[in-house]
Amino acid sequence: MIRTYSFTEAGGHAFNEDAFVLRPLADDANGWLVVLADGQGGRAGGARAAQLACQIAAAHAGSWAERLGAADAAVAADAGAGFTTLVGLHVSADRVVGASCGDSAALAAWGRGLQRMLTANQFKNPPVGSGAAAVVPFELALVPPWRVLVMSDGVWKYAGWEHVCDLAARRSGVELLADLRAAARLRTSGTFPDDFTVVLLESE
């Protein structure tokens, strides 16, 4: 059995340019699909790019590299869309398989303090929406108890990677998400400095 948790909120502006899909796998009673995108700021169409990329990657058949490639092509062909990051993966009881492009991130933690940044080898450019996105696949065997965190850069940039890793080793469920939110908020205002999106999957 896999438990799932998620949280998203706009930061620094009214409209959230992050998007994500979290749903059970149709062909795996215990598996889950996650797609997360962070629309690139500084140019128009980031939110549209993130939403469309998630929609296409989640619906497309094939490997994760093919899914992200299809999302890249669809976003590039949409005149109203800009650029976005994109992480897509599926998690089963003992394995995570996916691909990524950009600087959103996925982290796996298992056993006694073992961790791996699944997206460590990804490239920020060319981004999804360029028509030439640099998509990097990843795969990892999971040993229970494990947890997989998928997050936009509004999480890890402001909470700090070391703190994210420390929390992933010690916390779980709603407590982990609450601690990540607290770590990323600005001390003066209590708001997020950037759009904040995190999806957590855990084995029981």
Name every residue whose Cβ is closer than 8 Å to that of residue 48 and which is 6 or more positions away in sequence: 39, 78, 80, 81, 82
The pLDDT tens digits of the residues spanning 92-107 come to: 999 999 999 999 999 9
Residue spans of the domains in the chain: they are: 2-203
Give 2-203's CATH code, choosing from 3.60.40.10, 3.40.1360.10, 3.90.230.10, 3.40.50.1700. 3.60.40.10
The answer to whether 200 and 147 are in contact (CB under 8 A) is: yes
pTM over 0.95: yes
The pLDDT tens digits of the residues spanning 126-142 come to: 999 999 999 999 999 99
d(CA 96, CA 4): 14
Residue 19 confidence (pLDDT): 98
The pLDDT tens digits of the residues spanning 14-43 come to: 899 999 999 999 887 789 999 999 999 767
CA distances from 198 to 38, 134, 151, 186 (A): 11, 23, 4, 17
